[in-house]
Amino acid sequence: MTPFTRRTLLAGGALVLGTTTFSSLAPQPASASARPTGKQAPTLYRYKIGSYELTALSDGVWDRPIDDKFVRNADPAEVRKAMTDAFMPATDRLPIPFTTLLVNTGSKLILIDTGSGGQIAATAGTLGANLAAAGISPKAIDIILISHFHPDHINGIKTKDDALVFPNAEIKAPAPEWTFWMDESLPGTAPEAIKGYVLNARRIFRNIAKNVTRFEPGAEVAPGITSVAAPGHTPGHCAFSVASGNQSMLVLSDTTNHPKLFVRHPEWQPVFDMDGALAVATRKKLLDRAAADRMLVQGYHFPFPACGHIARSGTGYEFVAQEWRPL
Amino acid sequence: MTPFTRRTLLAGGALVLGTTTFSSLAPQPASASARPTGKQAPTLYRYKIGSYELTALSDGVWDRPIDDKFVRNADPAEVRKAMTDAFMPATDRLPIPFTTLLVNTGSKLILIDTGSGGQIAATAGTLGANLAAAGISPKAIDIILISHFHPDHINGIKTKDDALVFPNAEIKAPAPEWTFWMDESLPGTAPEAIKGYVLNARRIFRNIAKNVTRFEPGAEVAPGITSVAAPGHTPGHCAFSVASGNQSMLVLSDTTNHPKLFVRHPEWQPVFDMDGALAVATRKKLLDRAAADRMLVQGYHFPFPACGHIARSGTGYEFVAQEWRPL
């Protein structure tokens, strides 16, 4: 395998051109082929907001089986049409991306949501590998901000064996979210549909409760980062605004699930939204603000790199993905 | 810088979870922050067509200054509106991505177009670094397919000092393209607008002429790869179809420049199209075929990873980017 014995040509990850002399301009037969890798490239994307360096880090994609009840208040044929129009590979499963966001302020490393911890789907759980590809040790994370307590956002806090993945990070979570999910009576009274989420949230947070800082939605939670109340998806669900210099952007968290369905049709209620009507009101409010102000947004369930803009459209709004740029 | 002294935690690029024991569940103060990288992440994306592994490799982005004459036959206000609707950062320069495509058939490594060789814009010329990030030495490339002879497609064949970058590759180019650009009388007769391109094509190809295979558009040019005549952008411009197993896709090359302008408005003629009317006819024909057959397409000047589908829309067509997937 010639390609892999020529590593001396590569310095610091960049190909050094012009330092190699070629004995002849005539082509030589290539001696071997490169093995197909069979795996995706590192999935991270950097951009700047003022002096802050942001990194979108993929935790993978969950291909969630769906049925006619997945969107509570839409004609299933319309949902299938929206998926076909988006060239999704099938209409009976929705590819739901998970994308976390790392903010480097220059003095603090802040991770917004923590991915699935490899505990949800075989095609998710890549945050650790992508963080490593970004050159960041989990020990270097100073602050973790949690948007809400669904497993795909909090499970990355711990391994399956309950060890802390980010041992030096201060964890900050919305106070109303904590109040709802950690209520001692909830395991006995919760509806069947959310019982798993309740037990999972308790597994993650119960033995580290004294070390989790709870914030009121609207509070500044890190330098330049302010939480934004966005209830409905869950009782205490938060978005975050990130500002540095004269630039800012909005982390929508789960204000909308997949944009090809719920940005296009903000009135549609996915089964994930605990209070469907309130979630729709919050969604319309934040999308309208983002569109009016032409704000850059990041969406946890938007296709990687999950950042872009919101434009008004015929049915509601349209997500316009940011074009990949050199930094 | 603690994060960078913890490399022992990282094995094979992937974070090994569960092998580290944490002495305490209580947070420890993080000892240092990570330095902002100041550079973009490796920019490559892998996908499969049948048994072939394809890798989109970015050569960067050229921010080309444009004026009212950039689109020959459109109202400049409409062009500016299309750019504003696409959330481009300005309307007096167009960010034109360069994205090459590597096809690994399992026995051959085939590179379609070669990027700018760092000879066009400071923000382009990253193909070599991204190829290295993909674990591929330039010596391993078996075949280079050239779509046409514009500098952003052929300059990567050589360094500034005229050394071959891919010394073992057989170079294959469209015969009508060769006939046009390499005509010995052309340097004396070419219109001023293309004189630079003529001299550049001669610099690249003249002393390796006997080693460049010329193919007729329509010919199979590599296992499973067939050239497709797509004239107008240049006289011999080619697209390529890639097929393996029961899957196939279409490499559009420069059939359209930036999709937010020229897929949306296929009748618009950018100054790059040498025969504007013929280029429009070719563009409409290929886009219509791609839309009708719901084909996966790759566009050299589409935003990275530059693959997706074509849908019919009110003004012409719309490019629907492929959603980033685990392989």
Higher per-residue confidence, B2 vs A59: A59
Instruction: Report CB contact under 8 Å: A294, B160.
Output: no
Give the HSE-up count for residue B21: Cα atoms under 13 Å, Cβ half-sphere: 1
- For range B139-166, the mean pLDDT: 97
User: Could you report the per-residue pLDDT of A153-171, keeping only the tens digit for each?
Assistant: 999 999 999 999 999 999 9
Question: What proportions of chain B, in percent to the nearest 5, are helix, strand and coil?
Answer: 25, 30, 45
Classify each residue of B97-129 as buried b or exposed e, where b means 16 or more C-beta atoms within 10 Å of its C-beta: bbbbbbbbbeebbbbbbbbbbbbbbebbbbbbb
* Least trusted range by pLDDT, from A15-19, A228-232, A294-298, B152-156: A15-19
Q: Can you give the residue ranges of every domain in chain A?
A: 42-321
Instruction: Report CB contact under 8 Å: A27, B131.
Output: no
* Least trusted range by pLDDT, from A117-126, B31-40, B54-63, B122-131: B31-40
Please state, rounded to an integer, the average pLDDT across all residues of chain B.
91
The pLDDT score that the predictor gives to residue A26 is: 42
Q: Which two three-digit tokens encode residue B111? A: 């590179």
From the list B9, B36, B134, the residue facing A104 with the nearest CB is B36
Residue B22 has pLDDT above 80, yes or no: no
Residue B257 has pLDDT above 50, yes or no: yes
Find the closest chain B residue to A32 by CA distance.
B140
> Bridge-partner residues for A226, per DSSP?
A220, A241
Higher per-residue confidence, A63 vs B6: A63
The pLDDT score that the predictor gives to residue B272 is: 96
Q: Which two three-digit tokens encode residue A283? A: 């969604």
Instruction: Report CB contact under 8 Å: A25, B211.
Output: yes
Q: Which of B173, B189, B197 shows the shortest CA–CA distance to B271?
A: B197
Residue B29 has pLDDT above 90, yes or no: no
- Residues of chain A positioned with their CB less than 8 A from the CB of B257: none
Task: Compute the distance between CA of residue B250 and CA of residue B243 in angstroms, rounded to an integer.
Answer: 9
Please state, rounded to an integer, the average pLDDT across all residues of chain A.
91
A17 to chain B, any CB pair closer than 8 A? The answer is yes
Q: Which two three-digit tokens encode residue B178? A: 């060769």
A104 to chain B, any CB pair closer than 8 A? The answer is yes
- Looking at the complex, report in whole angstroms how far the Cα of residue B268 sits from the nearest Cα belonging to chain A: 21
CB distance A257 to A96 below 8 Å:
yes
The CATH fold of domain B43-321: Metallo-beta-lactamase; Chain A (3.60.15)
B226 to chain A, any CB pair closer than 8 A? The answer is no
CB distance B272 to B254 below 8 Å:
yes
- For range A4-11, the mean pLDDT: 28
Sign of CA dihedral A283, A285, A288, A290: negative
Higher per-residue confidence, B26 vs B14: B26
- For range B302-307, the mean pLDDT: 98
Type of residue at A28: Q
Residue B237 has pLDDT above 70, yes or no: yes
Residue B2 has pLDDT above 60, yes or no: no
A11: enclosing H helix or E strand? strand A10-11
- For range B286-302, the mean pLDDT: 98
Q: Which of A229, A265, A231 shows the shortest CA–CA distance to A250?
A: A229
CATH class of A42-321: alpha beta
The pLDDT score that the predictor gives to residue B254 is: 98
At residue A32 the predicted structure's pLDDT band, cuts being 50, 70 and 90, is low
In sequence order, what E strands does B195-316 have? 212-215, 220-222, 225-229, 238-244, 247-253, 296-299, 307-312
**At residue A264, what are phi and psi to the nearest 5 degrees?**
-65, -35
- Residues of chain A positioned with their CB less than 8 A from the CB of B104: 33-34, 36
The pLDDT score that the predictor gives to residue B15 is: 28
Q: Which of A113, A259, A105 shows the shortest CA–CA distance to A177?
A: A113
Task: Compute the distance between CA of residue B284 and CA of residue B289 in angstroms, rounded to an integer.
Answer: 8
- Residues of chain B positioned with their CB less than 8 A from the CB of A64: none
Q: What is the ipTM of this complex?
A: 0.89
A14 to chain B, any CB pair closer than 8 A? The answer is yes
Largest CA distance in chain B: 78
CB distance B309 to B290 below 8 Å:
yes
Sheet with B225-229, side-by-side order of all strands: B220-222, B225-229, B238-244, B247-253, B296-299, B307-312, B317-321
Residue A17 has pLDDT above 80, yes or no: no
Alpha-carbon distances of B81 from A232, B75, B78, B84, B91, rounded to whole Å: 36, 10, 5, 5, 8
From the list B42, B140, B171, the residue facing A34 with the nearest CB is B140
Q: Which of B291, B278, B280 shows the shortest CA–CA distance to B257?
A: B280
Q: What percent of chain B has pLDDT over 90?
A: 88
- For range B132-154, the mean pLDDT: 98
Type of residue at B233: H
> Bridge-partner residues for B111, per DSSP?
B102, B144
A303 to chain B, any CB pair closer than 8 A? The answer is yes
Find the closest chain B residue to A48 by CA distance.
B38
**Who contacts B103 (Cβ-Cβ below 8 Å, separation ≥6)?**
B52, B53, B54, B109, B110, B111, B112, B222, B225, B242
- Looking at the complex, report in whole angstroms how far the Cα of residue A27 sits from the nearest Cα belonging to chain B: 5
The pLDDT score that the predictor gives to residue B34 is: 81
Neighbour count for residue B198 (Cβ, 10 Å)? 20
The pLDDT score that the predictor gives to residue B32 is: 52
Sign of CA dihedral B83, B88, B89, B92: negative
The pLDDT score that the predictor gives to residue A314 is: 86
Using omega within 30 degrees of 0 as the cis cutoff, is the peptide bond preceding B305 cis? yes
Alpha-carbon distances of A261 from A265, A285, B294, rounded to whole Å: 6, 17, 20
Residue A11 has pLDDT above 60, yes or no: no
User: Could you report the per-residue pLDDT of A235-290, keeping only the tens digit for each?
Assistant: 999 999 999 999 999 999 999 999 999 999 999 999 999 999 999 999 999 999 99
At residue B40 the predicted structure's pLDDT band, cuts being 50, 70 and 90, is very high
From the list B34, B43, B86, the residue facing A104 with the nearest CB is B34
Instruction: Report CB contact under 8 Å: A133, B13.
Output: yes
**Who contacts B265 (Cβ-Cβ below 8 Å, separation ≥6)?**
B74, B82, B315, B316
- For range B216-244, the mean pLDDT: 98
What's the predicted TM-score (pTM) here?
Answer: 0.90
